[in-house]
Amino acid sequence: MTAPGAEFDEIYRATAASGGPPWDIGGPQPALAAALDGHVKGPRVLDVGCGTGDLALTLARRGYDVTAVDVSPVAIGVARAKAAAAGLPVHFEVQDATRLSLPPASFDSVFDSGLLHILHRRADGAADDYLALLPRLAAPGATVFVLAVSIEAGHGWGVTEEYLRARFAGPDWTTTRIESIDVAAETAGGPLTLRGFLLRTVRTADAAP
């Protein structure tokens, strides 16, 4: 049986000499970086689908207690090396986002920078499994950020605003806001910009763990 992260391990290995996969842009997505000031609740923050850790490291530099998970052992190995070189105490784990094993109601902010639209492409219900776990991980009143590529980017995959609103509705979520943004990518041909969304929502304050 193929390990869950094997496909992504191969992508990271195959692109290592050319700067990494398209989503590895050397820092947080610009739309998320702009949202960090004044919008992140702490101290405990979760980065799901963290890749090689650039967003997690940015959050750690701001003083947050960061846990970051990814299905790819290769990506987590790179992320741990970056954290060690920077002297930042990020807790990186190899975990499948559809089977997250983390303490319930543990996080004051949760970040998904480009994971949901990848799971949404799969035909095995992976996105639904992942979305069912998020309310259990977010503490009551926690803020959740989701950055996703739009179907209108024109690549035959992506999510719609209607899909996001339906998946982040009551009773689990409140004050959901979605804005149209640009998602940055890097390819062999240079920088690429895709149409996308940045969703911000809040875990219902009286939610049970």
Beta 65-70 vs 44-48: how paired, if at all? parallel
pLDDT of 49 reads: 98
pLDDT of 4 reads: 73
Residue 129, domain CATH: 3.40.50.150
Residues 6+ apart with CB under 8 A from 23: 51, 114, 185
Residue 143 lies in a domain: yes
pLDDT of 208 reads: 53
Q: Are 83 and 53 in contact (CB under 8 A)?
A: yes
Residue 56 lies in a domain: yes
11 conformational bin, left if phi > 0, alpha if psi -120 to 50, beta if neither: alpha
Q: pLDDT, tens digit, for every residue of 69-124?
A: 999 999 999 999 999 999 999 999 999 999 999 999 999 999 999 999 999 999 89
Q: pLDDT, tens digit, for every residue of 164-189?
A: 999 999 999 999 999 999 999 998 87
pLDDT of 70 reads: 98
Residues 6+ apart with CB under 8 A from 121: 157
Residue 135 lies in a domain: yes
CB atoms within 10 A of CB 35: 20
pLDDT of 19 reads: 87
Residue 165 lies in a domain: yes
pTM here is: 0.95
The domain total for the chain is 1
Give, in order, the Cα–Cα distances in Å from 117 to each of 38, 48, 94, 140, 163. Answer: 26, 13, 20, 25, 11
Query: Whole domain around residue 164: which residue ranges?
Result: 6-12+24-203
Q: Are 172 and 204 in contact (CB under 8 A)?
A: yes
Q: pLDDT, tens digit, for every residue of 25-60?
A: 999 999 999 999 989 999 999 999 999 999 999 999
Residue 36 lies in a domain: yes
Q: Which residue has the tokens 């209607």?
A: 162
Residue 1 lies in a domain: no
Residue 175 lies in a domain: yes
Closest Cα partner for 46 from 26, 27, 69, 28? 69
Residue 91 lies in a domain: yes
**Alpha helical stretches, state H, the chain:** 6-15, 30-35, 54-61, 73-86, 116-121, 126-137, 161-167
